[in-house]
Amino acid sequence: MAYYIFKRLVMALVVMLLATVLLASLAHLIPGDPVKLMLGPRASEEMSARVRTEMGLDDPIPVQVANFVIGLLQGDLGRDFATRSPVSNMISAALPHTVALAVASLGMAVLIGIPLGVISAARPSSWLDRTLGFLSVSLITVPTYVSALLLLLLFAVGLNLISSIGAGDFSDPVGYGKQLLLPATALALTWIGYLARLVRTSLLEILNQNYIRTARAYGLRERTILFTYALKNALIPTVAVLGVGMGNLLGGAVFVEVIFTRPGLGSLIYRSITQRNYPAARGAILVAAFLFVLANLIADMSYRYLDPRIRTWES
């Protein structure tokens, strides 16, 4: 187990190192002069030269990468180009809103998607199974930004039931929860359908195993077999994809936060890219990459815990 954890940590560190080097080279990977893109075509050569020096673009690329990594190890993500405020302060203000959105969306997907999958597997080929199957596939195929726009137009604009513009304040949990409801739902819909189909498929496969037939032969109740013996093993593939799911939720949060004007990490990335604010963009993207790697690492640990038969020390 210790070797398994060590190996996963090393892999996570390698991924983060590659992401850091890639983001440190961001200004050189995009076509055109980044300073001209930020300042516009009317900027003078003197101003362009001063900004290029302030951003360290005059240094060789290896030196720029090394400076970025050294600053990162010291907790310095650079300074915002427009306001000159530390990027870390901007991220610390935006990150809690994105984490709240992602956690609420993932929790909603788990609490709704898994029961739907269990209900479908308990009554295979029934009208209820076919109805839930059609609903699940429909949710999977709808893009996140389409769901967000439809929910916003229907409940906030058309019916005027929920005010979903902005994020509210953490000091008012009830008000914040109301502001969070529609964005979290929009972000969770795709994963509700995906988890429902995944749990149904896994559970039907488990229910055809020999040890389940043996449990039935001993006269155990079907409910006991389903929830005590089958469901735990059926959830192992679900846990394996939740880490990837958290990464996808962070990616979808960009669209949702922009549509609902939430001041989260996704809005910060979008605003920084549109303004060609490279220090803020690369700092925010780096934090998002770290969250993605961390979510996958936690999913790996959970997968190993749920199924100790996996010989991870041989993989």
Q: pTM for this structure? A: 0.81
C-alpha distance across the termini of the chain, in Å: 12
* Lowest-confidence pick of 14-28, 106-120, 213-227, 259-273: 14-28
Q: pLDDT tens for residues 28-85? A: 666 666 676 667 777 777 777 777 777 777 777 777 778 777 877 777 787 777 677 8
Q: pLDDT confidence of 10, banded at 50, 70, 90?
A: confident
DSSP 171: T
* Lowest-confidence pick of 25-34, 99-108, 274-283: 25-34
In this structure, the number of other CB atoms found within 10 A of the CB of residue 128 comes to: 13
What residue spans define the domains of the chain? 2-73, 88-314
CATH number for the region 88-314 comes to 1.10.3720.10
**Euclidean distance between CA atoms 98 and 207, whole angstroms:** 38
Average pLDDT, the chain: 80
- Residue 20 sits at the vertex; the CA angle it makes with 249 and 24, to the nearest 5 degrees, is 115
Q: pLDDT confidence of 289, banded at 50, 70, 90?
A: confident
Q: pLDDT confidence of 313, banded at 50, 70, 90?
A: very low
Q: Which helix (H) or strand (E) holds 236?
A: helix 236-259
What pLDDT score was predicted for residue 111? Answer: 92
